[in-house]
Amino acid sequence: MGLIPCEMNTPPHMLPLEKVAEVIPGVATRTPPAQGGARNQRVLTVRALTEHGIDAGDIAELDVLGKIADNQRLQPGDVLLPARSTRVMAVVVPPALAGIPINATLVAVRCGPQLNPQILAAYFNHPAGQLAIQSAAQSGTAQINLTAAALRQLPVPVPPPDQQACLAEMLSAADEAYTAAIQAAETRLRLARNLAVICPALPHRPRPSFSSSSSRQSPDRIPITTTTDDHEYEPRPLRTRPSSSFSSSPQSPGGNPSTSTRSENDDECRNINLPAAVIYPATGKA
């Protein structure tokens, strides 16, 4: 997949985030008591953020302290950042998580019409954006403490509208290709693990006889050494009769030994039983 060309003739303006977006802190929560409570809510926390997006299966059941404001419930296109974490990552909220509240471990950024959320998330995931966030965060240790007040003052790039449309299309195409590659890799890994478990448990098939038709297989399709659970086969060297035996045998019109004169190996090949695990790669047949 090629990248979509975008003309970047005009450099983006750097504006404080509060000029182009609403910055929303999460609601305060606590671990619910053992007996449960009436204020328990399904809440999205920083644990749900991953490198590939949001893990919708990791929504926590927490006791909400106070009232959940309307803007603290997610909307599609919101950009989520960790308020307390050891690393910076930004993800865009999908439509499936609309209406789910966030707790105080997250900060939501709701972009206005001046800024595309995909472009903002791309900037925050870029080394330049991560360095800007780390500089604005109150972090005395390895953990970053990012407040909504500090994030509102953070300068962010705002490209012209025509450039934003092109950049957003490019980011969407790249995300789709990345997701498809991850799913394909996971599918191959799952199939390989299933085969590793299923194949050894399959019953052994009866060993087929080495018929005359299969004895005429080309040498490159017969394995030199085949090892199974309890057998190891190596082809025996051809044992032909001495050349003198041909002198007393009838000759064919072309001067070659007749077909009635065979090597001893021909008769032996008819009685070889191959193990069930012998598979010819070229045909896939035993």
CA 210/CA 208 separation, integer angstroms: 6
pLDDT at 158: 93
- Plot region of 99 (φ>0 → left; ψ -120 to 50 → alpha; else → beta): left
State the pTM of this model: 0.60
Binning pLDDT at 50, 70 and 90, where does residue 40 land? confident
pLDDT for the residue numbered 118: 92
215: tokens are: 């004895």
Determine how many CB atoms are found less than 10 A away from the CB of residue 17.
Answer: 21
Q: What are phi and psi of 168, to 5 degrees?
A: -65, -40
8 Å CB contact between 186 and 252 = no
What pLDDT digit, counting tens, does each position of 142-195 carry?
778 899 999 999 999 999 888 888 887 887 788 778 778 888 898 999 888 888
CATH of 13-159, one of 3.30.70.980, 3.90.220.20, 1.10.3720.10, 3.40.50.1820: 3.90.220.20
- Count other C-beta atoms under 10 Å from residue 148's C-beta: 17
Backbone angles phi, psi at 141, to 5 degrees: -125, -165
Give residue for tokens 């900060």. 107
Q: What is the mean pLDDT of the chain?
A: 75
Candidate ranges 23-27, 135-139, 243-247; pick with highest mean pLDDT: 23-27
